[in-house]
Amino acid sequence: MESYFNKIYSILEKIPQEELVKKANKKMFSNGDLLFNQNGQSVEFNQYNNYNNGDSLKHIDWKQYAKRDKLYTKKFHSESNSNSILILDSSKSMNFKGSSGVEKSEYVRLLFGVLSHILLLSKSDVASLSNDDFSGFKKNVNSFPMLYELIKEEEFNIIKKLALIKEIQETKNSTIFIISDFMFDTKKLLKEVRKMKKLNYDFYFIQVLTKSELEFDYKGVIRFKDMETSETILTEPLAIKNIYIEELKKHNDNISKSILENNMKYKLLNTDINIEYNILNLFEI
């Protein structure tokens, strides 16, 4: 564990923490219908939500209805997304190594460490999940080691984790970070996310892939192994490269389109690129 923390603090020394904290404080991770930002100003509310059956009528903004012919409810500061939940993919495909020799799972743990540290500094309460247990939100940077303990034994899948989150009142109005390679059929996941979005959860999808997965830069005859099923295939990469690249693009485009159409955020990160650069990319710096 000490080695892990040393790596995290080494990364933190190389990035502009103060600027990242300011970005997080401005709720830059939310991609919803933000019409007002807090930004230190004394405003009554900082976000509109679409009206849903059962919402209080007293929070409807009738001026917005007159302008847009659509019902919106005001979301007050006390209700704004100040909780963050991080979900890390634990599927076998995350054990694939990039050209740097680092497994995607290890790269994701480093992203988790830096991201949770910045969020805690920005006064967001942060939580992670382990197996079928939710231990509650941590509220300060001293909680980071405890958060790390929760990500060491991740076994059950992302959809089950979301189902658990949805059942816990404490998690309402949270921003949920899903960090995965998304190298699976995402239809069920995206369907569940759209349902939770209507319940005022917000989402940030972080997709991590190696350079080899993105570019299929193999040469010669290669034996490929499916890390989920252990099935193998012996083939000449050039024979299938164009098909692979086309299918991967189609797959990723479908993911990003669905995410962005539902006012959520999405980033694709190459794990063979300097991690400090990717962190700045996450914070749009």
Which carries the bigger pLDDT value, residue 185 or residue 64?
Answer: 185
Identify the CATH number of the domain in which residue 23 sits.
3.40.50.410
Could you tell me if 6 and 54 lie in one domain?
no
What tens digit of pLDDT does each residue of 121-151 get?
A: 888 889 887 666 677 788 888 887 788 776 6
Tell me the pLDDT band of 56, cut-offs 50, 70 and 90.
low
Could you tell me if 23 and 38 lie in one domain?
no
**Predicted local confidence at residue 160, as pLDDT:** 87
- Full domain range(s) for residue 108: 2-30+81-282
Tell me the pLDDT band of 34, cut-offs 50, 70 and 90.
very low
Last residue of a domain, one of 42, 59, 80: 80
Tell me the pLDDT band of 44, cut-offs 50, 70 and 90.
very low
What tens digit of pLDDT does each residue of 239-261 get?
A: 677 888 888 899 999 999 999 98
Number of domains in the chain: 2
Last residue of a domain, one of 80, 114, 142: 80
Give the chain's mean pLDDT.
79
Could you tell me if 165 and 195 lie in one domain?
yes
Could you tell me if 74 and 107 lie in one domain?
no
- Dist CA 18 CA 219 (whole Å): 44
Could you tell me if 121 and 255 lie in one domain?
yes
Q: Is the pLDDT of residue 232 over 50?
A: yes
pLDDT > 90 fraction of the chain, expressed in percent and rounded: 34
Could you tell me if 231 and 275 lie in one domain?
yes
